[in-house]
C-alpha cells in the first residue's frame, strides 16, 4: 500500500506540483518516452496497482460483476465495489473514453478470463455478453 506523509503541503504548493506532474507526463508522451518515464517514476507495486485499476475500469464498462472482476484480477471485492460506485457516478468516464480506446487491453483481459475459465474463448462479436448466471456462479464456486 502506498504511504503519504502526515506532513501535508500547503494547498497552493500541492496544486502547482500536481499541475507540473501532469505537464511532465504530457511532455514524455509527446517525446515518445512515456514507457521509460513510467518505469522510472513508479515502483513495481504502483505499476501493478495502476494496471489493475485500469483493468477494473475496462471490465466495469463491459458490465462484468464485482465477484468476477475480483476473482480474475485477485483483488478484494470491497476494492472493486468502491470502484464500481465511482464508475456508476461517472468518475472514470474520461479514462474509459480515451485510455481504453485501443484493443490491446481487451486482448489481455480476454486472456486472463479464458485462462481462468471464467468466460468462453473468443467467438464472434458477442464475446462480451454476460454469461449464463448459473454457469458463471457454478464456476466461481468451484474455483
Number of domains in the chain: 2
Grid coordinates standing for 126? Answer: 458477442
Same domain, 117 and 57: yes
Confidence class of residue 34 from pLDDT cuts 50, 70 and 90?
confident
Q: pLDDT tens-digit profile of 62-99?
A: 888 999 899 888 899 999 999 999 999 999 888 888 87
Q: Considering the domain boundaries, does residue 94 fall inside one?
A: yes
Same domain, 84 and 57: yes
Q: Considering the domain boundaries, does residue 4 fall inside one?
A: no
Do residues 61 and 84 touch, judged by C-beta distance below 8 A?
Answer: no
- According to the model, what pLDDT value does residue 123 have? 47
Q: Which residue has the higher pLDDT, 106 or 11?
A: 11
Do residues 62 and 128 touch, judged by C-beta distance below 8 A?
Answer: yes
Q: Considering the domain boundaries, does residue 5 fall inside one?
A: no
Q: Considering the domain boundaries, does residue 124 fall inside one?
A: yes
- According to the model, what pLDDT value does residue 142 have? 63
Same domain, 54 and 120: yes
In this prediction, residues 32-45 reach a mean pLDDT of 85
Grid coordinates standing for 26? Answer: 504530457
Residues found in the chain? 143
Q: Considering the domain boundaries, does residue 3 fall inside one?
A: no
Phi, psi (deg, nearest 5) at residue 31: -90, 10
Stretch (H or E) spanning 71: helix 66-73
Same domain, 122 and 53: yes
Do residues 63 and 109 touch, judged by C-beta distance below 8 A?
Answer: no
Q: pLDDT tens-digit profile of 112-139?
A: 766 554 444 444 444 444 445 556 556 6
- According to the model, what pLDDT value does residue 121 have? 45
Domain that holds residue 20: 10-41
Q: Considering the domain boundaries, does residue 2 fall inside one?
A: no
DSSP letter string over 10-58? Answer: PHHHHHHHHHHHHHHHHHHHHTT-HHHHHHHHS-HHHHHHHHHHHHHHH
Confidence class of residue 105 from pLDDT cuts 50, 70 and 90?
confident
- According to the model, what pLDDT value does residue 35 have? 83
Same domain, 22 and 57: no
Same domain, 73 and 30: no
- According to the model, what pLDDT value does residue 12 have? 92
- According to the model, what pLDDT value does residue 119 have? 47
Do residues 72 and 116 touch, judged by C-beta distance below 8 A?
Answer: yes
Question: What is the pTM assigned to this prediction?
Answer: 0.66
Q: pLDDT tens-digit profile of 90-101?
A: 998 888 888 776
Amino acid at each position: 500500500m502506498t504511504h503519504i506523509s502526515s506532513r501535508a503541503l500547503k494547498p497552493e504548493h500541492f496544486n502547482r506540483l500536481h499541475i507540473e506532474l501532469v505537464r511532465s507526463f504530457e511532455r514524455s508522451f509527446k517525446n515518445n518516452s512515456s514507457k521509460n518515464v513510467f518505469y522510472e517514476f513508479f515502483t513495481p507495486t504502483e505499476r501493478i496497482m495502476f494496471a489493475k485499476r485500469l483493468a477494473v475500469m475496462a471490465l466495469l464498462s463491459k458490465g462484468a460483476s464485482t465477484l468476477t472482476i475480483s476473482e480474475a484480477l485477485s483483488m478484494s471485492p470491497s476494492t472493486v465495489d468502491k470502484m464500481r460506485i465511482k464508475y456508476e457516478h461517472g468518475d472514470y468516464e474520461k479514462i474509459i473514453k480515451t485510455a481504453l480506446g485501443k484493443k490491446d487491453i481487451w486482448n489481455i483481459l480476454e486472456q486472463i478470463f479464458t485462462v481462468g475459465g471464467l468466460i468462453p474463448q473468443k467467438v464472434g462479436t458477442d464475446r462480451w455478453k454476460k454469461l449464463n448466471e448459473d454457469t458463471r456462479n457454478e464456476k466461481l464456486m468451484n474455483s
